[in-house]
Amino acid sequence: MYSSMPLKEYIRVWLDTFKTGAVKPATLSRLETSLTALENYSIAEKPIGNITAFDIQRYVNELTENGYSLTTIKKQMRIATAPLRQAAAMHFISADPSIGVYLPSQDKVKKPKKITAPYSEEEQKRLWETINTSNKPGASAIGLMLETGLRVGEALALRWKYVDLNRKAIRVEATILNQADKKRSVLQESPKTISSKRTIPLTKKAEEILKKLKEKAKTEWVFETKTGERLSYEAMRYQTLTICKNADVPYLGEHVFRHTFATNCYYNNIDVKVLSKILGHSDVNITYNIYISLRGDGFDEMYNALNSVS
């Protein structure tokens, strides 16, 4: 029965049976987007009982030739192989055809890996000058992200019940998820991961931002629109673009504020274990390898490190 089913149809059964209700809505949306992309390739029409490692490898090679990033290739390979692996485990097919399939090396991928660099000290100075003179909720959100390392979804989901100005702390208990189609966002009453649920101490700047917002708050949302609605991803992006333009700094997305916070903490000699907890990472290696960047070409840091032991 299942072995004669085309891959695209079997993946749909797999999603409906094993993933719906078992994963978060954003994860399910990303999987469905991957399935839609896979349907453009010939492997999608092939019965799962006939698929071999050669078929999957050809699919991966086609993705590489079409110029996709390594991250996207990994996602697309996963939507094909994970259902087949389970089909083999349940004896719907004789063996797992994904064994022996290889991802391309980074140098073979046409689209280079995207590296998010933090804003420089001068760029941050211009950003703060713009933030301090703006009455847009997005400006306050940027300021809070720069001071706390919040993810943009966590900032947009922040409600006053999670803010303790007496203790000078905020709790991360929820996040806003931007759906894969970019047209919808939903509130998820749990953060990204278990370690993402955390309490973050407030700096003086962060405390000032929240006190000003609290004085004019009309709803439960910390970042609200004039009509009393939660600030949306779309509105946040538009306001960030405007603020960056006014500050004469490049727009690098909203996640760069988190990177900038982490790098600032590194230069202020905050212990990486403490920083990892503030950022909500389960592993300090994530903090080291992804979120901490050296300013400029890193020469000063290398020079000082070498000469401190000589």
- Using one digit for the tens of pLDDT, what is the confidence trace for 59-85? 999 999 998 888 899 999 999 999 999
pLDDT at 304: 56
Query: Tokens representing 300?
Result: 């000063």
Domains defined for the chain, CATH in brackets: 7-108 (1.10.150.130), 121-300 (1.10.443.10)
- pLDDT score, position 272: 86
Query: Would you state the pLDDT for residue 64?
Result: 92
Q: What pLDDT, on a 0 to 100 scale, did the predictor assign at position 310?
A: 46
Q: Are strands 175-178 and 163-164 parallel, antiparallel or unpaired?
A: unpaired
**pLDDT of res. 7:** 96
The pTM for the full model equals 0.70
What pLDDT score does 81 carry?
95
Residue-level pLDDT at 284 = 80
User: From the DSSP assignment, how many helices (H) and strands (E) are in the chain?
Assistant: 13, 5
Say which amino acid occupies 109.
V
Which residue numbers in the chain have pLDDT < 70? 111-115, 179-184, 192, 291-310
Angle, helices 256-267 vs 272-279, to 10°: value is 160
Task: Give the integer Cα–Cα distance in Å for 117 and 259.
Answer: 7
Q: How many CB atoms lie within 10 A of CB 106?
A: 10
